[in-house]
Amino acid sequence: MRTVAVIGGGASGMMAAITAAEAGAHVILLEHKDRIGKKILSTGNGRCNFTNIHQEPICYHSEDPLFPWEIVSRFSAQDAVSFFLQLGVYSKNRNGYLYPNSDQASAVLDALRMELKRLAVEIRTETHCSEILPVKRGFRIHTDKGKVSADRVILCAGSKAAPATGSDGSGYDLAKRLGHRMIPVLPALVQLKCGENFFKQIAGVRANGTVSVWADGQCLARDTGEIQLTNYGISGIPVFQVSRYAAQALYEKRTVTAELDFMPDFTAEQMQAFLKARASARSGKSAEEFLIGLFHKKLSDLWIRLSGIPRTKRAGELTEEEIRKLCSLTKCLRVTVTETNSFDQAQVCCGGIDTSGVDPETLESRFIPGLYFAGEILDVDGMCGGYNLQWAWSSGYVAGRSAAV
């Protein structure tokens, strides 16, 4: 019987261990935290958005844009749904976002743990791996609790995101020592810090809008949804979706800005005409009052102040230029992005092991036969909405099956 050692007990590691064990291998799962699967418990705000039924290549990012889809196509979202159904987890569909029907992330983790137990996977927690050595017949893994021998090794040690759950980046060092190149690892699906002083005045506001990230005059990405304004900058799902592009541009020392459009359903011309008509219809209202009911009061106050309009000025007395300024602020509030939040706040990372050194059919190393990779350690990250867990299931399945046969 072939022995497969899986390093990392996160989502991809557990899937790899289950798949390899089902294929007949003896599996040893090594995890340096005191429990496996800690990060799963925090996904989907504790409800575990474990996949998404809307799948296409654009949902995944990598230096090689075709690489992730080759893997996801071999273990699809429907395969993930069927897999968890067999484990007893019935799914709930929220606009394509799939959750366990219980709305408990612990249900997903418990189901995986029970399956690992059923398949007699040997789990060793609080075991830190310091080196993977290829030997004449397989591998010898050096740990703080002795040496582990295996015929095949699957490295699923995660990224640097949310290090409290176990992803501390230690797997990157193991891969680099075996000849693998790294794409710079940066926070992704993360909040953006901005340089303007006015954010403290609008902190706590949530508003639907479009956020676009720009660098040196080029639009890198945009997304629409609920934008959350904080005392340091911007957050919310649309910000998360574009944050990887901001992180990469900042890493390249480019000047990065974000443009916030709080009325994305209106063109600039339509918005100007709308404000002009509103001012005419509420001509007796003050400039401050005529925006009530249109925007959050904190935002209205900001628009008035930044446009230089006296608060007590009658709406009917607003000039074309003043209305144009208000329109510009509501449609394109431009802010300077100074940095992302840290790895501690990031949900995932962009960057990782360069996929050019990995076989897209098997996820086996092109340099070290018998060494495989899965999960966030690779240069693959997905959009917010269950895609990163889908990548974990897909890559874990492919690596586990390949290593066992």
- Last residue of one domain, picked from the residues 315, 340, 365: 340
* Mean pLDDT within 257-270: 97
Which own/partner pairs from 77-86 qualify as long-range (CB within 8 Å, at least 24 positions apart)? 77/51, 77/52, 77/53, 77/390, 78/53, 79/393, 79/397, 80/50, 80/51, 80/390, 80/393, 80/394, 81/51, 83/393, 84/50, 84/108, 84/111
Number of CB atoms found within 10 A of residue 316's CB: 13
pLDDT digits (tens, 9 = 90+) for 50-67: 999 999 999 999 999 999
> Token pair of 21, please?
């064990």
Residue 348 included in any domain: no
Residue 89 included in any domain: yes
Q: If you ran DSSP here, which 8-state letter would residue 259 be given?
A: E
Residue with tokens 């759950």: 165
Direct distance between the N- and C-terminal alpha carbons of the chain, in angstroms, rounded to an integer:
10
- Last residue of one domain, picked from the residues 307, 340, 373: 340
Q: Does residue 229 share a domain with residue 176?
A: no
* Mean pLDDT within 240-269: 98
- Last residue of one domain, picked from the residues 285, 306, 340: 340
Q: Does residue 378 share a domain with residue 331?
A: no
List the CATH number of the domain containing 90: 3.50.50.60
Band (pLDDT 50/70/90 cuts) for residue 167 is confident
- 218, amino acid identity: Q
Residue 345 included in any domain: no
Do 314 and 277 form a contact (C-beta atoms < 8 A)? no
Q: How many domains are there within the chain? A: 2
Residue 159 included in any domain: yes
Q: Does residue 196 share a domain with residue 136?
A: no
Average pLDDT over the chain reads 97
Q: Does residue 202 share a domain with residue 179?
A: no
Chain centre to alpha carbon of residue 168: 16
Q: How far, in Å, are 247, 283, 317 from residue 277 at the CA level?
A: 41, 10, 13
Band (pLDDT 50/70/90 cuts) for residue 244 is very high
Radius of gyration of the chain (CA): 25
Q: Does residue 179 share a domain with residue 198?
A: no
Residue 210 included in any domain: yes
* Mean pLDDT within 289-302: 94
Q: How far, in Å, are 15, 40, 98, 154, 160 from residue 111 at the CA level?
A: 11, 12, 16, 22, 26
Q: Does residue 233 share a domain with residue 370?
A: no
pLDDT for the residue numbered 323: 96
Residue 347 included in any domain: no
Q: Does residue 57 share a domain with residue 15?
A: yes
pTM for this model (two decimals): 0.95
pLDDT digits (tens, 9 = 90+) for 15-24: 999 999 999 9
Q: Does residue 295 share a domain with residue 176?
A: no
Q: Does residue 366 share a domain with residue 320?
A: no
Domain of residue 124: give its range: 3-183+353-404
Q: Does residue 201 share a domain with residue 286?
A: yes
Q: Does residue 25 share a domain with residue 109?
A: yes
List the CATH number of the domain containing 258: 1.10.8.50
pLDDT for the residue numbered 395: 98
Q: Does residue 362 share a domain with residue 333?
A: no
> Token pair of 81, please?
């749904």
Helix (H) / strand (E) element for 122: namely strand 122-124
Residue 179 included in any domain: yes
Residue 88 included in any domain: yes
